[in-house]
Amino acid sequence: MSGWYLGDTQKKVSRLEKSLTMSKKEINRIDTLCRISRGEETIERAAQMLGISERQMYRVVKRYRESGEAGLCHALRGRASNQRIAPEVCTAAMRLFRERYSDYGPTLFAEKLDEHHQITVSRHTVTRWMKKEHLYIPQRLRRRHRRKRERRSGIGELIQLDGSIHDWFEGRGPSCCLLVMMDDASSRHYLHFADTESTESVLTCMRGYVERYGLPSAIYRSWRCIL
């Protein structure tokens, strides 16, 4: 046991910082192994604290006995991941995007790569490639923001006019058109029923409004209203 005794944690960590780059998780494991070696902690409780199984905890202890501090570092530290996609694949995919799929989004483009070009990558990988090449703009950034129009401050400055054909009398009469004129500042309404939404009915509605409330400065009408 004496050969495996870890000694003081801080001294070990200080020496490691000079030769190895370790993650916080790996340094926490050294501290836990120190407590195990001093009999202050059991394998079972240490595994629970580190969030690993007892079997894996025994493997960590064994690896430290055999390789020292370096045995706690990830085996791929400083090396390319086994899951890494070759740069040539990314280059080929981006060339295809520019030449044939420039109007496609990442999801559909990834499907076309798999279906027609035998390049199987995830949508997230394609998105990352496209962002790196400045070929992808998220949908929410593409949409132009529409500012809400401020309401007019004075009554009569603007009147909105629209009509709607509906069974307003719920079967007690024929369907007809309800023309509505609304003051933009005060939301004051003027209603007029007509057989159809025609030039004559719209002008009749406007005449009724003017006779009751006076001539407005401007009228905004729906494109469906015929004048």
Asked if residue 192 belongs to a domain, the reply is: yes
Predicted pLDDT at 81: 53
Asked if residue 149 belongs to a domain, the reply is: no
Q: Are residues 166 and 199 in the same domain?
A: yes
Asked if residue 107 belongs to a domain, the reply is: yes
Domain boundary among 72, 103, 125: 72
CA atoms of 105 and 210, how far apart (whole Å): 53
Asked if residue 148 belongs to a domain, the reply is: no
Asked if residue 79 belongs to a domain, the reply is: no
Q: Are residues 121 and 164 in the same domain?
A: no
Residue 176: strand pairing partners:
166
Asked if residue 166 belongs to a domain, the reply is: yes
CA atoms of 120 and 99, how far apart (whole Å): 19
Q: Are residues 68 and 19 in the same domain?
A: yes
Asked if residue 211 belongs to a domain, the reply is: yes
Two tokens at 43? 């394998």
In angstroms, the Cα distances linking 23 to 13, 28, 47, 175 are 11, 9, 18, 75
Predicted pLDDT at 32: 78
Let me know: does 61 contact 36? Beta carbons within 8 Å.
Answer: yes
Predicted pLDDT at 161: 92
CA atoms of 218 and 201, how far apart (whole Å): 19
Identity at 100, one-letter amino acid code: R
- E-state strands within the chain: 159-166, 176-183, 189-194, 219-221
- E-state strands within 83-227: 159-166, 176-183, 189-194, 219-221
Range(s) of the domain holding residue 201: 159-221
Count of domains for the chain: 3
Task: Give all strands of the β-sheet with 176-183 in edge-to-edge order.
Answer: 189-194, 176-183, 159-166, 219-221
Asked if residue 94 belongs to a domain, the reply is: yes
Domain boundary among 72, 101, 124: 72
Q: Are residues 66 and 120 in the same domain?
A: no
The whole model's pTM is what? Answer: 0.37
Predicted pLDDT at 214: 92
Q: Are residues 133 and 176 in the same domain?
A: no
pLDDT (tens, 9 = 90+) of the chain, 227 residues, equals 444 444 454 455 454 444 444 556 666 777 777 777 777 778 888 788 777 788 887 877 777 666 665 555 554 445 555 457 888 989 999 999 999 998 888 889 989 898 888 888 888 899 999 888 888 876 655 556 566 778 888 899 999 999 989 999 888 888 999 999 999 999 899 999 999 888 899 999 999 999 999 999 998 886 555 55
